[in-house]
């Protein structure tokens, strides 16, 4: 033990020095991240969420367009036309002059101001507006679903990085123990207390663990690359993960105390299923799209009903065709009208369009019913996974405690000369494997918590 402690201190100092030198070389302090920090940064940097936000803006613009559909419109137009010369048409008058009824005016100029107001549409514009509003709500639910998916990806990447980091630490500690044991074995071999094969076996184990350490560190960097991508950090950013696998649950559904044990999974599972059906954003999006399809069906069917519009025009033209006889002068005229339009027969076109939209609504209802069954099964499965993960953590922790005690006893026996180097090697490997198993069990708990949180639909 007196030889192992300095090795641990040197190994820790070396790792700290390497991290510090790397941060200084990159000219920036390490980015310290908790799970919540990583999620917040990921939301701010996500192009996926930006795309859905752009779609939300487009949907809101469609609502504004639908609201304006039943408002009055005013437009202005102007035109010029050149016609061929024609023979004037005129009548003789008693005073000997001729009254020109249709003069030869080849230059025709018209300016017009028009006013249109659909005052009754049989509910069509209201139905279109309801459909567009439902689409806005659906896109908002899509955004919530994308946030939930992104949150799960970030949490999974975060805990994968933490697992890789702590796995590397476990292996580094094992390498330090192997180095100390190998040094001690070489000294014993030098004085003839042990055969050379025990030194070779310990040296081979030390080499295998060093290779595992390199692989674990490479895996740690690989997980950090994925985490940097998800949170929008630069590839050279040094990330310091502040949360550990031994910390409390990552969310409100993360512990056995909040979700119930396996024995109470029936009642608690039913409660969580109800919460999931009320909170899952994918379900909300489908419900809104069903409402949108129903409103669009009403809008299509309303096209067979009469519409009433108020219209008015003001013309200022040379010549003005509304004034008789025609004169080569700028004259104004106006009119006010009420127009009724009613499509009496269209060969079933409207009925077909309404049936197509109704089929979309029916398909969405079937998808919603299928999603309900999937959500119910998923929540119960995630509860079972979480309970199993907690049980595995307890078992792995007990195994680590037992392996550490066995390693200590074998080390003492080896120091007393009543145990072989093979015994030490077996105890060393058992401690390492149990330590890695505990890291994997803790990581599975965090992943199970994140999956349950995503299944329930909690923010």
Instruction: Give pLDDT tens digits for 397-409.
Output: 888 888 888 888 8
Say whether pTM exceeds 0.95. no
Model pLDDT, residue 93: 83
What mean pLDDT value characterizes the chain? 83
Q: Looking at the predicted structure, is the pLDDT value of residue 253 above 50? A: no
Q: Looking at the predicted structure, is the pLDDT value of residue 3 above 50? A: no
Q: Looking at the predicted structure, is the pLDDT value of residue 352 above 50? A: yes
Model pLDDT, residue 459: 66
Model pLDDT, residue 25: 43
Model pLDDT for residues 366-379, shown as the tens digit of each residue: 999 999 999 999 99
Most confident of 5-19, 98-112, 420-434: 98-112
- Percent of residues, the chain, with pLDDT higher than 70: 88
Mean pLDDT of 245-249: 66
CA distance 110 to 78: 6
* pLDDT band (50, 70, 90) for residue 165: confident
Model pLDDT, residue 297: 92
* pLDDT band (50, 70, 90) for residue 18: very low
Q: Looking at the predicted structure, is the pLDDT value of residue 287 above 70? A: yes
CA distance 416 to 396: 30
Q: Looking at the predicted structure, is the pLDDT value of residue 89 above 90? A: no
Contact 138, 292 (CB under 8 A): yes
Residue 224's nearest CA partner among 150, 164, 149 is: 164
């Amino acid at each position: 033990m007196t030889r192992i402690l300095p090795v641990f201190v040197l190994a820790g100092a070396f790792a700290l020095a390497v991290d510090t030198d790397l941060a200084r070389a990159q000219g920036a302090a390490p980015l310290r991240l908790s799970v919540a920090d990583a999620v917040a940064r990921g939301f701010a940097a996500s192009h996926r969420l930006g795309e859905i936000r752009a779609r939300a803006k487009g949907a809101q613009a469609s609502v504004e367009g639908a609201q304006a559909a039943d408002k009055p419109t005013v437009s202005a137009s102007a035109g010029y036309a050149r016609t061929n010369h024609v023979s004037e048409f005129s009548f003789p008058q008693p005073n000997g002059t001729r009254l020109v009824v249709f003069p030869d005016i080849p230059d025709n100029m018209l300016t017009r101001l028009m006013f249109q107001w659909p005052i009754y549409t049989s509910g069509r514009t209201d139905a279109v507006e309801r459909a567009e509003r439902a689409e806005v709500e659906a896109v908002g639910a899509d955004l919530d679903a994308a946030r939930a998916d992104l949150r799960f990806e970030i949490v999974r990447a975060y805990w994968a990085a933490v697992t890789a980091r702590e796995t590397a630490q476990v292996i580094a500690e094992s390498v330090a123990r192997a180095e100390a044991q190998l040094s001690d074995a070489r000294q014993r071999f030098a004085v003839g207390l042990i055969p050379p094969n025990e030194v070779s076996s310990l040296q081979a184990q030390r080499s295998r663990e060093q290779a595992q350490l390199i692989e674990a560190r490479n895996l740690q960097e690989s997980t950090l690359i994925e985490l940097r991508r998800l949170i929008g950090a630069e590839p050279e950013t040094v990330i310091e993960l502040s949360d550990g696998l031994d910390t409390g649950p990552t969310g409100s559904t993360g512990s056995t105390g909040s979700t119930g044990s396996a024995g109470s999974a029936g009642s608690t599972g039913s409660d969580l299923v109800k919460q999931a059906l009320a909170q899952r954003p994918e379900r909300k999006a489908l419900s809104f799209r069903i409402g949108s399809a129903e409103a669009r069906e009403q809008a299509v069917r309303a096209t067979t009903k009469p519409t009433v519009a108020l219209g008015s025009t003001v013309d200022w033209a040379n010549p003005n065709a509304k004034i008789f006889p025609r004169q080569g002068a700028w004259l104004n005229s106006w009119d006010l009208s009420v127009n009724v339009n009613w499509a009496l027969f269209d060969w079933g076109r409207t009925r077909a369009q309404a049936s197509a939209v109704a089929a979309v609504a029916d398909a969405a209802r079937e998808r919603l019913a299928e999603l309900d069954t999937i959500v119910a099964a998923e929540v119960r499965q995630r509860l079972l996974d979480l309970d199993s993960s907690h049980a595995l953590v307890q078992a792995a922790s007990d195994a680590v405690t037992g392996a550490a005690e066995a390693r200590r006893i074998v080390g003492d026996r080896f120091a007393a000369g009543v145990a072989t180097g093979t015994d030490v090697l077996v105890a060393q490997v058992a401690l390492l494997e149990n330590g890695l198993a505990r890291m994997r069990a803790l990581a599975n708990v965090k992943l199970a918590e994140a999956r349950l949180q995503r299944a329930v639909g909690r923010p």
